[in-house]
Amino acid sequence: MMKSHSLLLALFLTLLIGCSTTPYTGRSQFMLVSEGQEVGMGEEAYRHILRESVLSNDPEALRIVRKVGERIARAANKPDYKWEFRVVNDPEMVNAFAVPGGKVAVYTGILPIARDEAGLAVILGHEVAHALARHAGERMSQGMLVQLGGVGLSAALGSNPQLANQVLQAYGVGAGLGVILPFGRSQESEADRIGLILMAKAGYDPRVSLEVWERMEKKESGKDRGSPPEFLSTHPSYETRTQQLKSWIPEALTFYQPVERNLEMLPSPQVLDSPTAQAERELLKRIQAVNKQAGDPRGERAVVEALGYSLRMDPSVVYQERQQFRVGYGQYAALRALSSFGRAPLRRIVTDYESGVPWSQLSESHGARLSDLISWMGELRRTASSIQSQLRTQPFAPRRLR
């Protein structure tokens, strides 16, 4: 009984101190996460996502994205944020995100939806609004509140491995239905409203947003599976969104001061793509496939044994070494293979990887070909799958790395 009363008292005190207000809309928020904690986890999520992506260094694409992004950042007026704008080379990914702390990424697949810098301002304004309104912290706080019933306030606020993944989930990594949805529909609508104001303050016409979301609707409706129903989506339906935008545009127009007449067009994803980028994306898919297989105990055992046979290593050494480097089995396999192909020290390769060197450069600088690494990862995946299906039936001798 006393434990229950203590928990209720802690909850009451938390409710008193754990509230904040969103800018522009004035909505009250329940917060159990400090802004500093939120920024720290956001930047960790950002590094993780970019490490597992293919970045574009095209100077023209980066220049326009940074031009628009910096204007939006000035409008957001968060000088304590360390703003950074990157472009991810993935023509199939129609997405962008901004994490707490001001780190922003734009996937090339969304550039045809944006078309020009004003359309990009719609998208960046929306994403920056999520960070400005602390939506990720709000979602984490909601998840922590759910956990309070089982683990108590102090445990929920302390070391909890689940919380480390919640910012990643907030940006689509492992997201699903329930409390780990990227953002709620009310938060998406709020980001639309704040985003209109931010783009208007940055000098872009907020009325452009209607055209952008119309193009997005056509893109989504053209998919084989169609758009999800509103109650299963993290975004409002397009009809709802359009109605809301029309009601908010007059408010945003009061902040609008045009900065220039001629808007720059965005480059196409096809122009920005390259054979090297395509190869890196294929390698990342194979790395992720190995990680997925190792996600359960039997699959993990199969992957460890496949790596041991293929690399001529004791499986127990594979298991311990992978833990030591704190990377997924897929990343470990690719790094180990590079070391074997090029006869370079594994630790040096891991250091380069952790510093953000792309896989294509890792391969080249350590005496290997990216195409060979891709082929080997595919063979490893097939070997691990065979081991997994035959573990309890018959001995298996997979091919070794040569």
Which pLDDT score is estimated for 254?
Answer: 98
* Domain map (residue ranges) of the chain: 11-269, 275-390
User: pLDDT tens string for the chain (402 positions)?
Assistant: 555 555 554 555 455 456 788 999 999 888 888 899 999 999 999 999 999 999 999 999 999 999 999 999 999 999 999 999 999 999 999 999 999 999 999 999 999 999 999 999 999 999 999 999 999 888 888 777 666 554 444 444 444 445 445 544 544 443 333 333 468 888 999 999 999 999 999 999 999 999 999 999 888 877 644 555 444 456 778 889 999 999 999 999 999 989 877 899 999 999 999 999 999 999 999 999 999 999 999 999 999 999 999 999 999 999 999 999 999 999 999 999 999 998 889 999 999 999 999 999 999 999 999 999 999 999 999 999 999 998 766 555 554 554
Which pLDDT score is estimated for 392?
Answer: 62
**CA 364, CA 342: separation in Å to the nearest integer?**
9
Which pLDDT score is estimated for 165?
Answer: 53
Which pLDDT score is estimated for 177?
Answer: 32
Catalytic residue ranges: 127
